[in-house]
Structure 1
């Protein structure tokens, strides 16, 4: 009774005669003030934020290199010069002129540029590839250089080279007979990565808005209603964006373009779902209640608990990403959880206010009316009243099959889901950043040219440093003996400690590949053995391995550690929330088990699509954790909404009838919500970024599995088979056993 009174008061506050206008005004004022006073989140993006904590070996190696070998410190960009017929003397003179220009007038944050202008042509020719087609010249920038600054620097390089060549070698096709130039290396890759996300932001937003709008129009056939969820999402973004921007400016969090891009998709997908949970209930009740306020009040009291619980589940699951060691995952936590929290609040306040203002007009031109209203309207127009169709809906037929043949449904759905999940262990994972780029991206083309004429390891050598304690440790010789090493540079002595020596190791393999990562442990072991053999004690603590390959190796370790920690935490948090909300240990177990199985099936089906149909050799290593958090949290949304309906109907009717009615009542809205959520994630698959394409496809598949298999078939079938034990140990199971009617959850 107290809960009912509270919900009635809340409903009056947000959607009463005055409350609806006050609620709308408050949202307008809050969004306006925050956007006027606080910075936008996009203005605070830091796309160069560190991904690995200082405790990881590659980060410690970077710190040693910065201290002892400052000339090698920084972010190198590699200019790849190539001509299919062989580089000419005129081409090499452009290289010399470029070095002369930017040695005399260095670019912002430029820290090193070899003096090619001081080399005679024969000496420069000696640095050409064996086939005389290519030359690689480095230019190094400080670690503090932002991607935007690097982009401007590369633009100046391009303008200078274009002026000397008489045409733009940066846009020439690789197959051209002219001189072509590409920028690659860590700096070039960084600029291309940021450009991909920045170019994706606007197109992603437009595509997502259009998709949601089209789906809403197709499902509800009301232009007014289609804009209500979009208005709510817009306000939620308008409030969360400045708050995130302010938090980033204060240094409390870091945000990057990847997180903001996915946050936008999440807001539109999950936010629209929350809105539809209320809208669908309101629409149904308008066919039973003549008074729109009474219908809205009942809709609010009937759906607000499920919406709040669903939103809270997603918020906690996403907040668990704060436990991640890997920075790119850790940076997702606050933007995602805050955005969903604000979206849930908007769904529970702003959306009811808009529905109260528009009333039945929200659904124009297909306005829902009670049978009495339909009859009166027909009589006024002098037309005969159309009889209600008695035709059984498709959803009702499915629900009937579930309660009549639950074991058949369980067996069939489990065969499908387990069969799909069996492909998940076959997935190959990669941490190769270049593989996520389109083949026409300049940095990837540059790398391909290096691999064609030089050792691919030239793109990013492994830096090995060791404290020899003054002993004659032959680090260069020991590493040169390794079968996978192409070349080892001459050792250099440290600036602060002359006993520390450094060598650059060029591998035969692509330094960003899994193969190269597998060599890091062998490189470290060989360096330690060289120190031990020369009499150095505690060699383990005196070897540092750095560079892009070592960082990628640590990235793999960090990601695997995050999976081992965060996945159990998310499951535990959701389990506690379900237990508190449903008061049923059994229901909690099978609801979690079904979404975890659905997650495994999504991975397996995703691999089938990506590998066998799209030709992908591997999936980005972070995808399993990303997909798990989203699919398990969002999948429970649908379970909560449907089970809540069944639990409440169980107070007035037998369990099988409650299941049949609950599945029918929630089927339409969950199907609509699932299609929209899957569609928004599928929009990511249109982007030229492999990690987002893979994430979008796998998540969309998972949402569709939840929508069309787990929610309408597997969960209600299990509930049917369990009977009163589905409520155990709640009061419902005890009262069912005694034959007394139970109270709604």
Structure 2
């Protein structure tokens, strides 16, 4: 009989030289890349553009920079507030700060409103009607990095502390009759956003490692074995970081703090899963084989194909994100696929080497031995070994129940999942950056103060620009008449083209809301109508709308298009990989169907948990696509391990028995892997970043549904229902089933 490649490799990696050579090679690679390449964190770019230059809002921004450069900056809106009303002393202190900023500008500061030159009555005209709130803008250089703006705001904090008895930046919103100030606006929001992700990196890593370690200790009750996957993931992480940093330095990949955070979770969750599939197989075979080398060789032969297939499924699915147009989504592709690829290699090389070195001691103190070894061990101690129990395990009972009642199981699970999937149609989405911040984040508190005491539209006005061709327009009057518009500025003329006019339009609603976004086309329609009525030809090509609301409108349109492109491609790629591996059209179809059902169920159940359990009114618009990639790709992993086990067994035993044994033998390890993977994604829900909380919650629920509903019930039930046709058109499998049955 011809020896397979995996058998040859298993012989080599479990040999005396092979295991040590493998370990040494990994150590050398780890040392080399860390000594010669930069770390990923030093190459991240949190200011990378999300929209391409062809998007309307980006074109509008370029036009505004060219024709209306006075507004070319990042405003920080200092929102001053006292619940009982700002006093004359408060105003005097703010004017003192204004003079200081005029005489000694902050680093990267372009200008600030000179309220120190204004008389007290004039300043009071800027205060809200209830006398509690004053918004004081400071404009920073648009090209300044977030770190530089953050440093400027820190210096502002220090200066303010020196000028007031107590620092208004440190005052709490709940404090009564206390002067406070919050930095909001684009600059404040940008700094807070980067701070949130950077602060979570270390805590996320520690929480993930701790969770995985605890799970492994509980599941395997072996301190040595618990460390094997973690050490392997640590090696992979140590290689991935500098390699990714190298990619970033060479310009081959762009990534940000959010991507690195999720990559950490993915690496430890999925990486531990791949290790467990091999470890569990090795543990089972140690009870059949006296020779640990033979057991490891068989474990590698039996599980390597499924591990490689599962890893490649995830890698190709993640690479499909390169086709996305939205930068934040596209930037996930390289870090995530690279991490899974390297982890897959580690699980097939480094982990077998560790197991070969440690042997049965890996599982200390509960060391697996063959029956003969247990008898010999008992005789040496002068004891008599108790007869083996023949009582069927829970997995065998479950598998037997599925074989006897496949239709009831299939229909029941489809109904349950279908109910959850129904709620996915009820989800409300948002592209509001502030809604992903904790409620006590300074920029969000500042925005709330503006919303409560002024018009929230002041925070991010839309900029409507038109090419008038010298004609008189009634555009200001038309825009002011719109019910969702609070205020329209007088038109400004372009610096280079005097026929170019710009209007600042303040919405009467939250400019970051879906309602405001939905009015962007309406603003364009009004502008085009005004141009047409003035006799301007091709009016549609002579209107530009900029600002945060317009950018969010383009974001929604772009991500919707990305989903319509990326999702079908991922489905097609996974389908092809399943066809290549299983050589069955029928199996491919029902496995894909179960994972898609699981995905929509996860969205629905996730919405139920977030909306009704945590009072979330809308989830971030990126969540469906983010979650799809992970739930579908990782969920298919479990299907592959389950069905490959049934496939192999069906060639030598009746299909019913193959399903029973497949459910029983693969159930424990898949359940363990699913709990670990879901737990690592759930760690994201502990961070103060709502987009990660929502992503972690939905993805963790999807993994749990795959682990406890789809894999143990629906997939084996459908396999029994389809019978030998589940293997169509693979004649070999169908013939084997026909003969065994």
TM-score by length of 2: 0.98
**Could you tell me how far apart the structure 2 residues matched to 1:730 and 1:695 are?**
39
Aligned-pair CA distance for 1:110: 1.9
Residue in structure 1 matched with residue 101 of structure 2 by the alignment: 102
Residue in structure 1 matched with residue 181 of structure 2 by the alignment: 181
**Could you tell me how far apart the structure 1 residues matched to 2:12 and 2:71 are?**
64
**Could you tell me how far apart the structure 2 residues matched to 1:50 and 1:291 are?**
57
- Partner SS for 1:276: helix
Aligned-pair CA distance for 1:14: 2.8
**Could you tell me how far apart the structure 2 residues matched to 1:592 and 1:304 are?**
22
For 1:469-618, what aligned pairs fall within 5 Å after superposition? 469-618=469-618
- Partner SS for 1:140: strand
Residue in structure 1 matched with residue 60 of structure 2 by the alignment: 61
**Could you tell me how far apart the structure 2 residues matched to 1:680 and 1:700 are?**
8
Residue in structure 1 matched with residue 452 of structure 2 by the alignment: 452
- Partner SS for 1:422: helix
Residue in structure 2 matched with residue 361 of structure 1 by the alignment: 361
Tell me, yes or no, if the aligned pair for 1:79 and 1:182 is still in contact at 8 Å: yes
- Partner SS for 2:177: coil
Tell me, yes or no, if the aligned pair for 2:667 and 2:712 is still in contact at 8 Å: yes
Aligned-pair CA distance for 1:738: 6.3
Aligned-pair CA distance for 1:113: 1.6
For 1:80-159, what aligned pairs fall within 5 Å after superposition? 80-159=79-158
Aligned-pair CA distance for 1:95: 2.4
Residue in structure 1 matched with residue 160 of structure 2 by the alignment: 161
Aligned-pair CA distance for 1:600: 0.7
For 1:228-247, what aligned pairs fall within 5 Å after superposition? 228-247=228-247
Q: Deviations over 1:615-656 (max 9, x none)?
A: 111111111111111000001100111111111111211111
- Partner SS for 1:235: helix
Tell me, yes or no, if the aligned pair for 1:468 and 1:531 is still in contact at 8 Å: yes
Q: For the structure 1 residues 265 and 16, does the alpha-carbon distance in structure 2 shift closer, same or farther, using more than 3 Å as the test?
A: same
**Could you tell me how far apart the structure 1 residues matched to 2:211 and 2:602 are?**
22
Residue in structure 2 matched with residue 681 of structure 1 by the alignment: 681
Residue in structure 2 matched with residue 652 of structure 1 by the alignment: 652
- Partner SS for 2:71: coil
Q: Deviations over 1:403-453 (max 9, x none)?
A: 111111111111111111111101111111111111111111101110111
**Could you tell me how far apart the structure 2 residues matched to 1:538 and 1:80 are?**
43
For 1:385-396, what aligned pairs fall within 5 Å after superposition? 385-396=385-396
Q: Deviations over 1:499-518 (max 9, x none)?
A: 11111111111111111111
The answer to whether structure 1 residue 402 and structure 2 residue 425 are counterparts is: no
Structure 1 stretch 195-204 or stretch 7-16: which is displaced more? Answer: 7-16
**Could you tell me how far apart the structure 2 residues matched to 1:52 and 1:641 are?**
39
Q: Deviations over 1:55-96 (max 9, x none)?
A: 111111111111111110122111001112222222222222
**Could you tell me how far apart the structure 1 residues matched to 2:59 and 2:12 are?**
56
- Partner SS for 2:506: strand
Aligned-pair CA distance for 1:275: 0.1
Residue in structure 2 matched with residue 468 of structure 1 by the alignment: 468
Q: Deviations over 1:385-412 (max 9, x none)?
A: 1222222211111100011111111111
- Partner SS for 1:296: helix
For 1:182-261, what aligned pairs fall within 5 Å after superposition? 182-261=182-261
Structure 1 stretch 40-49 or stretch 120-129: which is displaced more? Answer: 120-129
Residue in structure 2 matched with residue 339 of structure 1 by the alignment: 339
The answer to whether structure 1 residue 301 and structure 2 residue 276 are counterparts is: no
Aligned-pair CA distance for 1:259: 0.3
Q: For the structure 1 residues 373 and 482, does the alpha-carbon distance in structure 2 shift closer, same or farther, using more than 3 Å as the test?
A: same
**Could you tell me how far apart the structure 2 residues matched to 1:129 and 1:533 are?**
38
Structure 1 stretch 467-476 or stretch 276-285: which is displaced more? Answer: 467-476
Residue in structure 1 matched with residue 280 of structure 2 by the alignment: 280
Structure 2 segments unaligned to the other structure (5+ residues) = none
Residue in structure 2 matched with residue 640 of structure 1 by the alignment: 640
- Partner SS for 2:680: helix
* Corresponding residue pairs, total: 740
- Partner SS for 1:139: strand
Structure 1 stretch 142-151 or stretch 276-285: which is displaced more? Answer: 142-151
Tell me, yes or no, if the aligned pair for 1:725 and 1:733 is still in contact at 8 Å: no
Aligned-pair CA distance for 1:339: 0.3
CA RMSD of aligned residues (A): 1.3
**Could you tell me how far apart the structure 1 residues matched to 2:18 and 2:736 are?**
41
Q: Which runs of 4+ in 1 moved over 3 A?
A: 736-741
Q: For the structure 1 residues 738 and 359, does the alpha-carbon distance in structure 2 shift closer, same or farther, using more than 3 Å as the test?
A: closer
**Could you tell me how far apart the structure 2 residues matched to 1:94 and 1:251 are?**
48
Tell me, yes or no, if the aligned pair for 2:457 and 2:507 is still in contact at 8 Å: yes
Tell me, yes or no, if the aligned pair for 2:651 and 2:733 is still in contact at 8 Å: no
Tell me, yes or no, if the aligned pair for 1:71 and 1:112 is still in contact at 8 Å: no
- Partner SS for 1:166: coil
Residue in structure 1 matched with residue 375 of structure 2 by the alignment: 375
Q: Deviations over 1:465-492 (max 9, x none)?
A: 1111111113322211111111111211
Structure 1 stretch 395-404 or stretch 278-287: which is displaced more? Answer: 395-404
**Could you tell me how far apart the structure 2 residues matched to 1:36 and 1:15 are?**
30
Structure 1 segments unaligned to the other structure (5+ residues) = none
TM-score by length of 1: 0.98
